[in-house]
Homo-oligomer: A and B are copies of this chain.
Amino acid sequence: MANHDALPLVVLTEQFAKLPGIGMKSAARLAYHVMAMDAADVETFAQALLNARRTVHYCQCCENLTDKPLCPVCEDDSRDKSVICVVETPKDISAFERTGEYRGVYHVLHGLISPLKNVLPDDLKIRSLLSRVQNGDVQEVIMATNPTVEGDATAAYISQLLKPLGVKVSRLAFGLPVGGMLEYADEVTLYKALENRNIM
Q: Does A55 sit at the interface, judged by CB under 8 A?
A: yes
A 131-159 binary contact with B (CB < 8 Å = 1; else 0): 00000000000000000000000000000
Known contacts A4-B97, A19-B30, A39-B54, then 9 further A-B pairs from the complex at CB < 8 Å, ordered by chain A residue? A1-B94, A2-B94, A6-B55, A6-B66, A8-B56, A9-B65, A11-B51, A29-B91, A32-B65
Determine, out of A41-49, A122-130, A168-176, A183-191, the stretch whose residues face the partner at the interface.
A41-49
A97 surroundings in chain B (CB, below 8 A): 2, 4
B45 near A6 (CB under 8 angstroms)?
A: no
Q: Which secondary structure characterizes the binding site on chain A? A: helix
Number of copies: 2
Q: How many residues of A contact B (CB 8 A)?
A: 58
A 6-49 binary contact with B (CB < 8 Å = 1; else 0): 11110110110011110000101111111101010111111111
